[in-house]
Amino acid sequence: MKEAHAYTREGCTRCPDFAAEHADLSTGGIGAFGDWTLVIVRTDLGRELLSTMKEKGLIETRPGDDDPGAVALLHKLARVSRKRWPETAVPGPRRLPVTSA
């Protein structure tokens, strides 16, 4: 991952939603298991989608408790990125104000 930082898009360094907290599913390649992707289920729709994919044999799953370090890192990075939300954001979920074109 560290080698790839040079290729990070500029906007990503200022993104206030690192953990995709307003998505149905959040995914990321952090943690001890390099061949697994950490997936956070955030909504009922996300849970349904993940369950359907598992039932159809499209994915394998394992509990997040298998890698508590990845979950802790996700929480830490999410806290840092939340500090980037502008004061003008609309609360719950924090959305940037609409600007006229």
The domain of 69 spans 2-82
Q: Is 94 within the bounds of a domain?
A: no
- Tens-digit pLDDT string for the chain (101 aa): 577 778 777 777 777 777 777 788 888 777 666 778 888 888 899 999 999 999 999 999 988 888 888 888 888 888 887 787 777 766 665 555 556 55
One DSSP character per residue, 42-84 reads -SHHHHHHHHHHHHTTS-----GGG-HHHHHHHHHHHHHHHTT
- pLDDT value for 74: 81
Q: Is 91 within the bounds of a domain?
A: no
Q: Are 74 and 30 in contact (CB under 8 A)?
A: yes
Q: Is 95 within the bounds of a domain?
A: no
pTM confidence score? 0.62
Q: Is 97 within the bounds of a domain?
A: no
Q: Is 96 within the bounds of a domain?
A: no
Domain count within the chain: 1
Q: Which residue has the tokens 């719950």?
A: 92
Q: Is 101 within the bounds of a domain?
A: no
Q: Is 76 within the bounds of a domain?
A: yes
- Cα–Cα distances in Å, from 56 out to 28, 36, 39, 44? 22, 18, 18, 18
| Backbone region of residue 20 per phi and psi (left: phi > 0; alpha: psi in -120 to 50; beta: other values) | left
